[in-house]
């Protein structure tokens, strides 16, 4: 089985800074790390490989320094790492990123499964995995907690409001895993050293059959109009009464807000 896992390098979440005019995250000024949710995706891919055999390929789109994220993926245990890097990709939105990753998957075909984190810690759009499936016209399972492959079928336990459900899809497919899916393994010192010695393959726009006009700011359909810090307007009201009385008072407060009383 060949599993492709998508890995993104993101700014350290605690120190994210945004250009107030463009809305662009100032990645150049921040320490970088592997997107936390993508570690769960890597772990899910590695567990599948360990269970049914095969290989795991980590793919990342980003500037040359994104190679660090792929080396961490290799230190965790992926068999192969591929970096898609081209200056024209700068400023690509989630839709363009999905298109580029889908093209890379076709370049790396045949594959059985594409595994992504449910969302990134910087953009928080949560659409890249979903959109990759759309680009490739593949079945998709989102918000996965547990993953099994049996023959030509992937079976997943996925999170839903108030519980979970079990769903199946035929391979090849795309899945996105949540941060509750597993506990990512820590690389050993030996695996880190070995990862530093292993080659990372590179793909350019030309390799993927894409033009500069199709990617970056030019090719991205979404625009950020305004970036601002949300104001907290809520006030806390503490009601120190027995439960039934407190419930009645809350109900009255809501009705007053709605103008019903």
Q: Do residues 80 and 57 lie in contact, with contact meaning Cβ atoms separated by under 8 Å?
A: yes
Q: What percent of the chain has pLDDT over 70?
A: 91
Work out the burial of residue 55: count CB atoms within 10 Å of its CB; fewer than 13 is exposed, 13-18 middle, 19 or more buried: middle
- pLDDT, tens digit, 9 for 90 and up, residues 121-163: 777 778 899 999 999 999 999 999 999 999 899 999 998 888 8
pLDDT band for 21, please (50, 70, 90 cuts). Answer: low
pLDDT band for 46, please (50, 70, 90 cuts). Answer: very high
Quote the tokens at residue 127.
Answer: 């659409």
For residue 105, is pLDDT > 90?
Answer: yes
- pLDDT, tens digit, 9 for 90 and up, residues 216-247: 888 888 877 776 667 777 778 888 889 999 99
**DSSP assignment, residue 205?**
H
- pLDDT, tens digit, 9 for 90 and up, residues 52-72: 999 999 999 988 989 999 999
The per-residue pLDDT for 15 is: 64
- How far CA 200 is from CA of 60, 74, 79, in Å, comes to 11, 10, 11
pLDDT band for 113, please (50, 70, 90 cuts). Answer: very high
Query: Cα–Cα distance between 140 and 36 in angstroms, integer?
Result: 21
Nearest alpha-carbon partner for 89 in 128, 60, 68: 60
- pLDDT, tens digit, 9 for 90 and up, residues 172-207: 999 999 999 999 999 999 999 999 999 999 999 999
What's the average model confidence in pLDDT over 84-111? 92
Least confidently predicted of 23-27, 118-122, 136-140, 167-171? 23-27
The per-residue pLDDT for 171 is: 94
């Amino acid at each position: 089985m060949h599993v492709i896992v998508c890995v993104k390098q993101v700014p350290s979440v605690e120190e994210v800074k945004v250009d107030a005019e463009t809305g662009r995250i100032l990645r150049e000024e921040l320490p970088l790390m592997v997107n936390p949710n993508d570690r769960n995706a890597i772990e899910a891919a590695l567990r599948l490989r360990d269970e049914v055999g095969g290989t795991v390929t980590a793919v990342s789109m980003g500037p040359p320094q994104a190679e660090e994220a792929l080396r961490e993926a290799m230190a965790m245990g992926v068999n192969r790492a591929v970096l898609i890097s081209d200056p024209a990709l700068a400023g690509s939105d989630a839709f363009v990123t999905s298109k580029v990753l889908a093209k890379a998957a076709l370049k790396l075909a045949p594959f059985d499964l594409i595994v992504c984190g449910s969302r990134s810690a910087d953009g928080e759009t949560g659409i890249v995995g979903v959109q990759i499936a759309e680009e490739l016209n593949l079945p998709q399972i989102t918000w996965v907690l547990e993953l099994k492959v049996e023959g030509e079928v992937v079976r997943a336990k996925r999170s839903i409001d108030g519980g979970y459900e079990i769903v199946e899809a035929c391979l090849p497919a795309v899945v996105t895993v949540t941060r509750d899916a597993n506990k990512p393994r820590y690389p050993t010192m030996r695996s880190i050293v070995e990862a530093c010695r292993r080659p990372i393959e590179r793909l350019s726009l030309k390799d993927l059959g894409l033009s500069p006009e199709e990617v970056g700011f030019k090719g991205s359909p979404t625009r950020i109009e305004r970036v601002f810090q949300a104001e907290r307007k809520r006030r806390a009201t503490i009601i120190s009464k027995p439960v039934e009385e407190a419930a009645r008072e809350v109900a009255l407060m809501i009705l007053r807000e709605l103008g019903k009383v």
